Amino acid sequence: MTARRIIPCLDVRDGRVVKGVRFENHVDMGDAAELAARYRDQGADELVFYDITASPEGRTLDYGWVRDIARLLDIPFCVAGGIRTVDQAARCLDNGADKVSINSPALERPELIGEMAARLGSQCVVLGVDSRLEDGEWVVHKYTGDPDARRAAGRRTMDWIVEAQSLGAGEIVLNCIDQDGVRAGYDIAQLKVARERLTIPLIASGGAGAASHFLDVFRDADVSGALAASVFHTGALTIPDLKTFLSDAGQEMRL
């Protein structure tokens, strides 16, 4: 069994980490660099940084900021936020990121996935998918970093992740909007359906509130990693305690 990954997620706005509920009503959680160093020291397997207003504002993220984060870390990290071209993605990697995640720009121009995979390698290309249940089926939303700009993307979630895989995405992060920030557990039903359709790694996002939620999603949905934010930012759960719990429950972890 491949070791399961624990991945703190840092939603960044103006250098500060923020967190909302169902992608709305964001509150300040602290300095991005300080939180990154904390999770590095606690034993996170990797980190994800989302510049949440980049796509709605029509810009890309700050490469200097990526470089500053890279100097802090000795674990893999992924960055996202308004990456619309292969050159922009390459500059993120050149400045120290290990992966780049694309979301809304890929919905606007799906061939971007294949272009990035061809030049940078599929292992560097992560597709973020923001999904919610509407009228009995899961559908994709875009521009989710800005509540005023967010809207349905006109795609069914399961169709989109299969297409993205065929285009060359190396990993899917499935953000379940209805679970986001409520700490009631991951959307196991949606994640199980997604897992059945993919051969590439699937990362669960949205809903973690207790150690048992991580165990449930690893055991019942067979995801490769679990991403979480507020449960770590608030100190409600620490990574060492979580990994010990999961290891004791029979999950392969990097301790």
Supply 234's token pair: 């608030």
Catalytic residue among 31, 62, 68, 130: 130
Cα dist from 134 to 119, 131, 140, 154, 155, whole Å: 36, 9, 10, 12, 12
Supply 188's token pair: 């196991």
Supply 70's token pair: 């890279």
Residues 168, 113: Cα–Cα separation, whole Å: 6
Residue 119, SS3?
A: helix
Residue 76, SS3?
A: coil
Q: Which residues are 138's β-sheet partners?
A: 133
Q: Which residues are 174's β-sheet partners?
A: 129, 204
Can 31 be counted among the known catalytic residues?
no
Chain mean position to CA 189: 18
Can 187 be counted among the known catalytic residues?
no
Residues 69, 92: Cα–Cα separation, whole Å: 11
Active site residues per annotation: 11, 130
